[in-house]
């Protein structure tokens, strides 16, 4: 397509999600060009070891190959050990920075600095890493507004589940009275396997093999990943300035056979004063609950509203690619607006 719009992308973080995004680009850049009139050009990719930059565009397939062999720093001819994200970002001429480094709930780094730098240099940001939003949602949103760029985070609310669009856009005008959510795939998977009689350790190892567990799996099994998603949901959909410390969090590591069957649930319950009570922990669901029978690799959410009643969405995800697909939908939404 002669008049396809070229969009330069910097991939900051090349773990399972970043790699999956590059895989999607490698597989279907031409199809995306045909369908959306956009040519997605990855101009920088950085992992923990180093990175590679070429403002003219890197070969997404070679990036994936280099990563499988160890690091994107091994990209033929151009990769550099020790190349840092900020240098790569500034050399990349990227229009959109994709932030997919590991979650660090202590200080949000390195993701928080990546997002601040990208926004304040006039770049759109698409983020899969929850920590910067959990720790600095209002600041980052106002930074994006100040620089007239987009900050998209639909990949932080349960993999590919369109939680944000449903809650913030499609239920506009409704009062959300309660949210029930299975937003952490790993703990749902582990509890489902334990409910079926399997040991905790076996299920956790399998979640790690499937690349759905966090780099530090305590974030999953102690409830912090689900709580992080609830914080982002509360800020972005319920419009309350919730923080992690506002959530009562219980993990699944202490459970014994006698406690089962249980499902790891995040709940937001609207109070008469308009605020919400937020909690995350294992719950016994009634048989008729819309999330009671989700298969092991699923996530799901139910919005209970005054005008349209309960509305539920679920997904079955076998690995990190659906989260990368959520980043792609954010990228395409930015592109669609730019093209208008
Ligand atoms: N560790 C997360 C999960 C990955 O298990 O759901 C997606 O945020």
Q: Does the annotation mark 229 as catalytic?
A: yes
**What b/e string do you get for 218-239 counting C-beta neighbours within 10 Å, with b at 16 or more?**
ebbbbbbbbbbbbbbbbbbbbe
List, in order, residues 6 or more apart from 319 with CB less than 8 Å away. Answer: 16, 20, 210, 211, 212
Query: For residue 2, what pLDDT is reported?
Result: 59
What does the block give as tokens for 194? 């334990």
pLDDT (tens digit, 9 = 90+) per residue, 227-271? 999 999 999 999 999 999 999 999 999 999 999 999 999 999 999
Give the CATH architecture of domain 163-316: 2-Layer Sandwich (3.30)
Domain boundaries 5-160+321-339, corresponding CATH code: 3.40.50.720
Domain coordinates of the chain in residue numbers?
Answer: 5-160+321-339, 163-316
Distances (CA, A) of 15 to 3, 45, 203, 321: 33, 11, 21, 11
What does the block give as tokens for 200? 């905790």
Q: Strand order of the sheet with strand 80-81?
A: 80-81, 50-53, 38-46, 5-12, 96-99, 124-127, 151-152
Query: For residue 148, what pLDDT is reported?
Result: 98
Task: Tell me the CA–centroid distance for residue 132 and ligand 1, in Å.
Answer: 16
| Ligand 1, atom nearest to 130 Cα | 8
Top mutation candidate among 128, 186, 207, 228 for ligand 1, by most atoms within 8 Å of CB: 186
Task: Tell me the CA–centroid distance for residue 184 and ligand 1, in Å.
Answer: 5
pLDDT (tens digit, 9 = 90+) per residue, 154-213? 999 999 999 999 999 999 999 999 999 999 999 999 999 999 999 999 999 999 999 999
Query: For residue 339, what pLDDT is reported?
Result: 86
Q: Please count the CA atoms within 13 angstroms of the CA of 312 that sit on its side-chain side.
A: 17
| C-alpha closest to that of 56 among 86, 81, 93, 12 | 93
pLDDT band of 307, cuts 50, 70, 90: very high
pLDDT of 1 higher than 60: no
* pLDDT (mean) for 295-318: 96
pLDDT of 66 higher than 60: yes
Top mutation candidate among 128, 163, 184 for ligand 1, by most atoms within 8 Å of CB: 184
Let me know: does 71 contact 50? Beta carbons within 8 Å: yes
| C-alpha closest to that of 38 among 13, 60, 63, 8 | 8
Query: For residue 179, what pLDDT is reported?
Result: 98
* Strand ranges (E), the chain: 5-12, 38-46, 50-53, 80-81, 96-99, 124-127, 151-152, 176-182, 247-249, 263-270, 276-283, 298-305, 309-316
CA-CA distance, 280 to 247, in Å (whole number)? 7
pLDDT of 222 higher than 90: yes
* pLDDT (mean) for 64-70: 98
Enter the DSSP assignment of 200. Answer: H
CA-CA distance, 297 to 320, in Å (whole number)? 12
pLDDT (tens digit, 9 = 90+) per residue, 108-144? 999 999 999 999 999 999 999 999 999 999 999 999 9
Q: Tell me if 212 CB under 6 Å of ligand 1.
A: yes
| Ligand 1, atom nearest to 229 Cα | 8
pLDDT over 90 percentage in the chain: 98
Mean pLDDT of the chain: 97
DSSP letters for 61-105? HHHHHHHHTT-GGGSTTT-EET--HHHHHHHHT-SEEEE-----T
């Amino acid at each position: 397509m002669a008049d396809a719009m070229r969009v330069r992308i910097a991939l900051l973080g090349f773990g399972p999600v970043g790699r999956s995004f590059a895989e999607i680009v490698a597989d279907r850049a031409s199809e995306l060009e045909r369908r959306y009139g956009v040519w997605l050009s990855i101009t920088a990719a950085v992992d923990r070891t180093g990175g590679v930059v070429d403002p003219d565009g890197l070969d997404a397939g070679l990036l994936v190959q280099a990563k499988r062999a160890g690091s994107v720093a091994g990209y033929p001819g151009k990769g550099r050990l020790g190349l840092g994200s900020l240098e790569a970002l500034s050399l990349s001429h990227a229009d959109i920075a994709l932030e997919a480094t590991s979650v660090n709930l202590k200080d949000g780094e390195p993701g928080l600095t990546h997002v601040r730098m990208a926004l304040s240099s006039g770049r759109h940001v698409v983020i899969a890493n929850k920590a910067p939003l959990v720790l600095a949602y209002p600041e980052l949103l106002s930074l994006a507004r100040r620089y007239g760029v987009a900050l998209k985070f639909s990949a932080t609310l349960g993999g590919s589940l369109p939680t944000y669009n449903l809650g913030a856009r499609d239920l506009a005008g409704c009062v959300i009275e309660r949210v029930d959510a299975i937003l952490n795939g790993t703990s749902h998977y582990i509890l489902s396997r334990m409910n079926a009689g399997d040991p905790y350790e076996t299920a956790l190892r399998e979640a790690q093999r499937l690349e759905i567990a966090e780099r530090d799996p305590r974030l999953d099994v102690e409830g912090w990943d689900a709580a992080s998603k609830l914080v982002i949901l509360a800020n972005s959909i319920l419009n309350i300035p919730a923080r992690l410390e506002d959530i009562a969090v219980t993990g699944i590591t202490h459970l014994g056979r006698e406690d089962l069957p249980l499902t790891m649930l995040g709940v937001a319950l609207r109070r008469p004063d308009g605020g919400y009570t937020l909690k995350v922990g294992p719950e016994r669901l009634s048989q008729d609950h819309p999330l009671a029978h989700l298969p092991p690799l699923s996530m799901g959410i139910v919005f209970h509203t005054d005008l349209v009643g309960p509305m539920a969405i679920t997904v079955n995800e076998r690995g990190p690619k659906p989260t990368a697909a959520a980043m792609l939908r954010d990228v395409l939404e930015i592109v669609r607006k730019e093209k208008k």
